[in-house]
Each structure stands twice: as C-alpha cells, then as structure tokens.
Amino acid sequence: MFLEEGIKKNLIALGVTGEINFSVPPKPEMGDLAFACFGLAKEKGQNPAEVAKEVVEKINQNKIDLITEAKAFGPYVNLYFSPGGLAKAVITGIEKDKNYGTNNIGQGAKVMIEYPSQNTHKEFHIGHMRNVCIGNTLVKLYEKSGYHMVPVNYINDFGAHVVKCLWWIMRQGKLKNDIPNKQKWLGEMYAAASKYIKEHEEEVKPELDALQKKLEAHDPKVMKIFNQTRKWSLVGFEKIHQELGVKHKVTFFESQVKEKGQKIVDGLLQKKVAQVGEGGAIIVDLSQYGLDIALVRKSTGAGVYLTSDLALAAEKFNKIKVDESINITGTEQDFYFKQLFKILDLSGFKNKMTHVGYGLVNLPEGKMSSRAGNVILYEDLRDEIFASLMKEMKERRTNWPEKKQIKTANVLTQAVLKFTMQQHEAAKVITFDIKQAISFDGFSAPYILYVVARINSLFKKSKIKLNNNINYELLNTGAEKRVLFLLSSYGDVIEKALKNYNPSVITKYCFDLAQAFNDFYNNCPILSEEKDLMRSRLALCAAVKKVLSDGLGVLTIGTVEEM
C-alpha cells in the first residue's frame, strides 16, 4: 500500500535495510503496523529482539510522517500513527487522485490479448462466459498498470466441428430461415452429429474427410451452406459480446489463416523441424523437450488446430505491432500451447507469447460437453438469474415502477454472472450455484452492490455535501482503521491480480472491503452523530464507494443507486 511504501523509504533513510513486510498487530494497544527484524538481524549477525530495540530508538529519534511513536515487542517493531494521520492520508489521497490504484509498471508497452476464441456452429455457453469475464478484467488490470491494450478475437470457423455440423445439416435437407434461435439450433446440430459419429465412426469417416477437403477447397455448394450458417453464429456472438462489454479491435478467423498454416508446415519440413510420420502425416517430434509428438498435418493432407495457430501467431504480430500476445483458454489446453510455443521457437519465431489458462465451469451434476449436448447456454443462465432477481425485486420494491425494477435486475444479473465467474482463482474448476450466486448475504455480488447503494442512501438522508472541513482525528476506532487500511492497499491488490493473472484477487478484495464497511456501519453510528463526526464518517463512506465502484469496474460490473 502507498502508506507502507512511504514508511519504507523513511526507514531506508535511517539505515533500516532488507526486506520489510508489514502486518497489522493482533491488538489495538500494540499499534497500527508492525514488522519483524529477523532478516535485518541475520544480516548483522545479532539477536532479532536487540535489533528491534535499535530500530525503535532510531525511529523515535527522527521524525517520520504519520508515526508518533515506535515500540519493540520482542523481535517486532510496532508503529503508532498520529491521531487522524492515517485517515487524512488515505481519504485525501483517494479524493484527489482520479486514477487511484493505478501504476505504471507497463510503461506504455503494447499488449495484445486474445479472447474468448469461440467456435462458430456451437453454442455460447457458460464456459465461454468465464473466458470473457477473465479477459475483460485482465484488459482493465493491464490498462490500470500502464499498458496499451489491444483486445482481439480468433474465431475457429473452419475446424472439424464445422465439418461435423455441416455434414449433419446436409443429411437433414435444406436450411430454414425461420429458426427462432439459430445459434442454439447450430449447437444442437453439432451435438446430434457428434453423437451419431461416435456410434458410426468407421462408416462415416470417409464422408467427413471428403467434406473437409471440399470445405478447404472452397467448393461452391459447401461454401453456400457454410457462409449462411457462419453468419448466424457471428451475429449471435456479436450480440452477446455487446451485452458483456467485450470490445475487440480486430477479429481473426481460422478460414483466413489455415492455408497460410499449410505453407508454414511446408517450411517446417524444409527446415527439418517437422518430418513425415506414420501414414504420411506431418509431425514435430518434441520428445526431447518433454512435449511428446505434435501433429501439424493429417495424413489426408488436411490441417489441424496447430496448422492454423502457427499461421495465426505470425499474422497477429504482422498485422498489429505489439510487445506481447496473450491467449486465454481452458487449462485443458495448457499442454497444447506448450507444444505450439516450442514449435514456434524452433522455427525461429521470436515474439513473446503467453498462455493464461482457466478452469472449466461445471454443471452441478458434472462436466459440460458441447459434443454431448449437456451445456448451460449463457443466455439461458442469464434469463434464469434475471427471473429470480425480478421476483425478489417485486417482493422487496413494490413501490418501484416496473421499468426501474427491470433496469436494476439487469445490472444485478450481469453483476451476479461476472462476479461468480471470478470468485476463485482462474485455474480452478468451478460449479455454478445459482442460489448462492444471487444471495444478498456472503461472498456474492448483491452483497457488495448493496454497500454502494447503502452509502448512496446515507448521503441522500444526511443532505450533507462534503467539503475540506473534515476532522480526521475523529476516525480512530478499530472498525474505521480496518476500512482505512483496506482502502490504502487497493494499489497493491491491482498489482497482485495482474501479476498472477488472477481476477479473484479483486473479487476477494471487494468482498473484504464491503464486509469491513458493514462492520464499521454496524458499530459506528453515522446519521445520529453530531455534525463533525457525521461529516468525517461520511467522508470515509465516500472513499469506500469510490474504491469499491472502481474495483467492480475492473470486473466490468456496474453499480445501482439503490437496491
């Protein structure tokens, strides 16, 4: 936190070097912050408790901002802040800094981030939803850290799944334009095709291979069906992207790079990076790197995912000059990306590429699968959550006009979806529990948004406009200090979340801050106090609202005026 950094600089000036990790003492009478002297004692070859006494003496003999006194508790140095010093530093810092919590780690570096990389001719399910949530948040985290971001998408519109879907549609007869939800229908066609192929694989394989060749050769009859169904998928995707706040600067398509990928495979053969394998397939032997054997072209001559991704890597850096490209996919593709990056490296590709994996989203009864057809569609989940929240709204807010109820329920629906998808570490597999997700208690979006609404209500009832006449010394209770320390750590939270590609650091922070605020609200009366104390506590409330709203904004979650 920015307070700690300032204190560290002063300590270094006093000759207190080494790693200093601050913590909050277990009891209020033991001070506001503390740090251990084990590392410093080891450097000096002295007893930690003796070193702590020496450091305390130096601090007490010299003036350090905020600190009125230091005391030694065994090997620990405990610091006591001046009355009101902590509150003034934190609240005025938040109030004056329009970009509170930002840093300049990136120093203007340009980074491309690719997500959600969904497939046409399939549904947009809740697994894609988690990808979008993580991608949106990482874009915000990078921007808050001084990077120039270029969000892009790569849509697989030419893979084996498309062949299966088209094959099944062509078996059923002509396409109809009066299908209500065309994207959902395509997903059903793909699932039905996959089920049939699994049961009749040997029988239908020649047909699928022939159709794959026709598709890659741009056969007019096949392309007519392909283009029409592809358009249905893309229109559906765009609608969902707008709803979720996804803004891509460029979209790449597999159909545009697959042929280039075949040429790259030819180049790998010439460079002897690749070789002809069993049955005429083209492979890259990565066994010496612990990455097994990678297939880059089928024995039929058809391309695979790696064929296209090799071309995509080159295409991305040629089209957009960036310092790094990040891919976000499920963790089940971790090994695949290790193979891809190694092949690129062996081919002489020098651009920086990073893979961020996220865990799958499961149904309560188990793993989802597009092939099996047991997926939860984003739109179905959204509608179910909205219906539950509208029911709650009509029961709680009978005096609200329906338009206001719908608007609030829509904001809360997106908040529930986005918050729940990012509650846990990105790599962790999650099971979406609707009842828990829409709860107004505990680790949930409604619980946190209610704090913002409560603060709005406090200001509305108080009819007070804050000014510079704030007595910060009145903010000295334990509950108030806990809120202040959390507010001061927001910048560290942003850095930590970005460093680990982990949006759950933000969701946990927002919950902790909301929880600390509620503890303060329940233990420190606000509107019933005399004006000076009320004004001081409202200033703290304003700081909480600003930071909490910013944190939710990083998660691309909006707030509501009242709930």
CATH 3.30.1360.70 is held by the domain 2-81: yes
Q: What is the pLDDT of residue 372?
A: 47
Residue of 259, 221, 233 whose CA lies nearest to 162: 233
Q: What is the pLDDT of residue 365?
A: 60
How many other CB atoms sit within 10 Å of the CB of residue 350? Answer: 7
Residue of 185, 124, 178, 145 whose CA lies nearest to 382: 124
Residue of 527, 537, 485, 490 whose CA lies nearest to 509: 490
Q: What is the pLDDT of residue 435?
A: 87
Alpha helices (runs of H) in 62-159, residue ranges in sequence order: 85-96, 126-144
CATH number for the region 378-554 comes to 1.10.730.10
Strand partners, 282: 276, 297
Instruction: Give span(s): CATH 3.40.50.620, the chain.
Output: 115-362
Look at residue 114 and give its three-state secondary structure.
strand
C-alpha distances out from residue 562 to 113, 400, 548, Å? 35, 11, 15
Contact 533, 503 (CB under 8 A): no
Contacts of 276 (CB under 8 A, 6+ apart): 269, 282, 283
Instruction: Give span(s): CATH 1.10.730.10, the chain.
Output: 378-554
Q: What is the pLDDT of residue 362?
A: 77
CATH number for the region 115-362 comes to 3.40.50.620
Q: What is the pLDDT of residue 15?
A: 85
Q: What is the pLDDT of residue 368?
A: 46
Distance of CA 18 to the CA centre of its chain: 33
- Residue 526 tokens read as 């606000």
Q: What is the pLDDT of residue 177?
A: 80
Q: Tens digit of pLDDT per residue, the chain (563 long)?
A: 678 888 888 898 888 877 888 988 988 889 999 999 998 899 889 999 999 999 999 999 998 888 999 999 999 999 999 889 999 999 999 999 999 999 999 999 999 999 999 999 998 989 899 999 999 999 999 999 999 999 999 999 988 899 999 999 999 887 878 888 898 899 889 989 999 999 999 999 999 999 988 998 899 999 999 999 999 999 999 999 999 999 999 999 999 999 999 999 999 999 999 999 989 999 999 999 999 999 999 998 988 999 999 999 999 999 999 999 999 999 999 999 999 999 999 999 999 999 999 998 876 665 545 444 567 889 989 999 999 999 999 998 999 999 999 999 999 999 999 999 999 999 999 988 888 899 989 999 999 999 999 999 999 999 888 888 899 999 999 899 999 999 999 999 999 999 999 999 999 999 999 999 999 999 999 998 899 999 999 999 999 999 999 999 999 999 999 98
C-alpha distances out from residue 373 to 38, 193, 276, Å? 58, 10, 36
φ/ψ bin of 468: left (φ > 0), alpha (ψ from -120 to 50), beta (otherwise):
alpha
